[in-house]
Chains A and B, each alone.
Chain A
Amino acid sequence: MTDGLADASADKVIVIKSGTHSRWLGLADLGTYGSLLRYLVGRDIKGRYRPTSFGHYWMILRPVLEMLIYVIVFGYVFGITSQPIPYPLHVYSGIVLFVFFATSLSTAANTLTGNRHLLNKIYFPRLVIPLVNITVNLVDLGAASTVVLGLMLFYAVPPALNILALPLVLALLLSLTFGLGLCVAALSVRHSDTSIWLPLATRAMLYASPVTYPVSIVPEAARFFYMFNPVAVIVEMFRWSLFGTPLPHALHLAAAVVLSLAALLLGLIWFTRVEREMIDFL
């Protein structure tokens, strides 16, 4: 096995200048840092739960407990129901995606300061840090998703054939979350206010999306505008692909796709603009 990094840079000239941005947004450079990405993800996943008593069960326990809270508050106390799928399954399928979305954003705001000691001592494409962040959260999402299957078995909800489209739904979710995460990270470099307003914003997003309630509860007149929220569309698409519930209107689907891709592009451009001098501000 030859040394990949040395090969890649054997005759490479590294030019260090002010204000130059990495070409191709630095994406080409990422390939040689694959093992770094892997080990940082491993470090975060292994290290995070190691001192706790429940260990990695927290990956599942947390969304389940969260679901129970909503089922008790909204389902039992307020009497919200969902058709045709049982309310706990409705809530859990939404929670799983939403927790991924919200946690990814809130950790994105702190991940640069959290890895300050690395950024301050070593060169690597700074994009590795948000990539590690999203990957760790994706692993959590995968673990938490197993409960969806359990609940489907429990409530005898058969999977729809639409499940084949699930990867597309996830790609959309990833693009939106990663893009917004990059924006949040770039913003947090110079504006430490970010970590203050961000939880409020994600809380607002929770109630602006059909996570704890069905779309049918939203007033008819407002529903057209409501569904321009890409998170709402993605959550509904997720349920469509798993349970065969109705798909949002094509216009809303298109809007969600455009917004998600725009977020990704904006995030990449913004992040690479600030990455070279970010350490001076962290």
Chain B
Amino acid sequence: MDQEIAIEVEELSKLYYLEGRRPRGRRFRDFLRRSTARRPCAKAAIARELDVGHAFWALQNVSFTVRRGEVLGIIGRNGAGKSTLLKIMSRITAPTSGCARLRGRVISLLEVGTGFHEELTGRENVYLNGSILGMTSDEITRKLDAIVEFSGISRFLDTPVKYYSSGMRVRLGFSVAAHIDPEILIIDEVLAVGDAAFQEKCLGRVNELTGDAQHTVIFVSHSMAAIGSLCTRTILLDGGSVIADGDTGDVIKRYHELSAGEKGTVELSKRRERSGSGQLRMTKVVLQDANGANISYAKSGDAVRLVVEYDAAPELVGTRNIIANIVISTANGMRLFGLPSDILRKTKATIRPSGRLTCSLDKLPLLPGHYGLDISIVVERELADKVMGAAAITIVEGDYFGTQLLPISHYGNVLVGYDWNLHEGTH
């Protein structure tokens, strides 16, 4: 039973036209011209449209199978084809070629609260939304109490939805969706909305569904944490094709490599925008993990090393007074903190003709995102080399606090260790 195949996708492709809504070949006059020989002309037309850049493949030859009970994650950068794939699997649009077979009742949640009507009350919208998602009215009546309780907005059930806040809509919408019992569930990013507590509730519900090995789930998200905690297997899409399919951890790694672009090594020797005497010049910045292996990105809370390699003029070689400093800024240029070596009373360096200076951080205190590094080296109280924006590092979600939670970036991008005591009285 558990080896049974629930979803088969074979060579699925989808062509989209960029210019206007209507492909040229479908206009009335073209239709008249070629209504005699359709097939070959259509193919030629596609090739022509692709050539001049009016058309592109949103999906190209995507194939995979999903066993019953499996939770499959789909990740990819923006425009990778995730939404198109979901739309085809949800039968919202048809593929240009290829085929997909789904066995069982399919519910797709591409949005919560789809079809809510502003003028109708919450209760009426529960029925409307439920029937849109394929529930019968008896089924909804039976589940109404559970739905309302899950949403936590029972007080406003008879208020028209137009007076709801966006958060209330999401709550009600997801509550309806959470009480459907499909065999195949397709979810697109819907969990990214609502407050943290409600999100947790939603994830819990999805976990519950997937726990019994009867429900097959396809889950698309930009949140690697959610993918990591829910999915056993993940597919990585890029440019409309599957470029990785396998164990979630490995695929997420591939995804990060993809979005980080280059490996985390930046050449500095040819960089021109720099200041300083030039007696010592930085040649390279390398991001490494605690074991000294080069990495392309790091997780919040990871132990990392920033290695600065340099070439020095012969007269500088030997033991020298030095101040090395790295300043970390957000992607929009706000300085967050510096890592000057002299503050640690490390002021003596052994300068070699080619050497390296290594800065270690036990616990990377940064939220996920991209950060810029400004690096400067002062030798014998004289600025030897300074490169602003020397490198950019990519930080991805990690478990800084050991709680699998990270604060939102609204509070700032820097993480510090802290604790709370919430049990004391004042007397």
Contact yes or no, A47 B105, CB < 8 A: no
What's the nearest-Cβ distance from chain B to residue A282, in Å?
8
Contact yes or no, A14 B91, CB < 8 A: yes
Contact of B110 among A12, A33, A122 (CB under 8 A): A122
Contact of A14 among B22, B97, B106, B120 (CB under 8 A): B106
* A51→B136 CA distance, assembly (Å): 28
Q: A9-B105, A36-B132 are in contact. Are A17 and B99 (CB under 8 A)?
A: yes
Q: B167 on the interface (CB 8 Å rule)?
A: no
Q: A56 on the interface (CB 8 Å rule)?
A: no
Contact yes or no, A13 B101, CB < 8 A: yes
Q: B152 on the interface (CB 8 Å rule)?
A: no
Contact yes or no, A4 B128, CB < 8 A: no
* A20→B88 CA distance, assembly (Å): 13
Contact yes or no, B91 A3, CB < 8 A: no
Beta-carbon contacts of B127-139 to A below 8 Å, as 1s and 0s? 1100111111111
Contact yes or no, A3 B117, CB < 8 A: no
Contact of A18 among B26, B95, B139 (CB under 8 A): B95
Tell me the chain B residues, 102-131 only, with Cβ under 8 Å from chain A: 102-106, 108, 110-111, 114-115, 117-120, 124, 127-128, 131
Beta-carbon contacts of A34-68 to B below 8 Å, as 1s and 0s? 01101110110011001100000000000000000
Bin the interface of chain B by size. 35 or more
What's the nearest-Cβ distance from chain A to residue B101, in Å?
5
Contact yes or no, B119 A50, CB < 8 A: yes
* A87→B167 CA distance, assembly (Å): 57
Count chain A CB atoms within 10 A of each CB in B91, B108, B131, B142 and give the residue with the most.
Answer: B131
Bin the interface of chain A by size. 35 or more
Contact of B102 among A10, A14, A51, A118 (CB under 8 A): A14
What's the nearest-Cβ distance from chain B to residue A127, in Å?
14
Contact of A36 among B26, B102, B104, B131 (CB under 8 A): B131
What's the nearest-Cβ distance from chain A to residue B209, in Å?
15
Beta-carbon contacts of A1-42 to B below 8 Å, as 1s and 0s? 101111001111111111110000000000011011011101
When distances are taken between beta carbons in the complex, the residues of chain B under 8 Å from A32 are 134
Q: B63 on the interface (CB 8 Å rule)?
A: no
Q: A220 on the interface (CB 8 Å rule)?
A: no
Contact yes or no, A46 B120, CB < 8 A: yes
Contact yes or no, A121 B111, CB < 8 A: yes
Contact yes or no, A5 B21, CB < 8 A: no
Q: A123 on the interface (CB 8 Å rule)?
A: yes
When distances are taken between beta carbons in the complex, the residues of chain B under 8 Å from A207 are none
When distances are taken between beta carbons in the complex, the residues of chain A under 8 Å from B119 are 46-47, 50-51
Contact of B128 among A12, A39, A124 (CB under 8 A): A39
* A15→B102 CA distance, assembly (Å): 7
Contact yes or no, B91 A18, CB < 8 A: no
* A190→B134 CA distance, assembly (Å): 28
Contact yes or no, A121 B100, CB < 8 A: no
* A183→B21 CA distance, assembly (Å): 19
When distances are taken between beta carbons in the complex, the residues of chain A under 8 Å from B316 are none
Contact yes or no, B21 A16, CB < 8 A: no
Contact yes or no, B117 A280, CB < 8 A: no
* A11→B26 CA distance, assembly (Å): 38
Contact yes or no, B108 A18, CB < 8 A: no
Contact yes or no, A121 B21, CB < 8 A: no
Contact yes or no, B124 A46, CB < 8 A: yes
Contact yes or no, A43 B117, CB < 8 A: yes
* A107→B95 CA distance, assembly (Å): 29
What's the nearest-Cβ distance from chain B to residue A59, in Å?
16
When distances are taken between beta carbons in the complex, the residues of chain A under 8 Å from B32 are none
* A121→B100 CA distance, assembly (Å): 18
Beta-carbon contacts of B11-52 to A below 8 Å, as 1s and 0s? 000001000011000100000000000000000000000000
* A171→B165 CA distance, assembly (Å): 45
Considering only CB atoms, which chain B residue lies closest to A282 in the complex?
B21
Considering only CB atoms, which chain A residue lies closest to B129 in the complex?
A39
* A3→B107 CA distance, assembly (Å): 14
Contact yes or no, B132 A39, CB < 8 A: yes
Q: A13-B102, A14-B101 are in contact. Are A38 and B131 (CB under 8 A)?
A: yes
Considering only CB atoms, which chain B residue lies closest to A37 in the complex?
B131
Contact yes or no, A276 B26, CB < 8 A: no
* A10→B118 CA distance, assembly (Å): 34
Q: A149 on the interface (CB 8 Å rule)?
A: no
* A117→B110 CA distance, assembly (Å): 11
When distances are taken between beta carbons in the complex, the residues of chain A under 8 Å from B330 are none
Contact of A118 among B104, B132, B181 (CB under 8 A): B132
When distances are taken between beta carbons in the complex, the residues of chain B under 8 Å from A280 are 16, 21, 93
Q: B89 on the interface (CB 8 Å rule)?
A: yes
Contact yes or no, B97 A3, CB < 8 A: no
Q: B92 on the interface (CB 8 Å rule)?
A: yes
6 A-B pairs closest in CB distance: A123-B91, A276-B94, A16-B100, A1-B138, A47-B119, A39-B131
Task: Return 6 A-B CB contacts under 8 Å, by A number.
Answer: A5-B134, A36-B132, A40-B132, A121-B111, A122-B92, A190-B21
Q: A1-B139, A46-B124, A190-B22 are known contacts; what are 14 more A-B pairs with Cβ within 8 Å? A: A3-B139, A5-B136, A11-B103, A18-B97, A32-B134, A39-B127, A40-B131, A47-B118, A47-B119, A117-B115, A119-B92, A121-B110, A279-B87, A279-B93
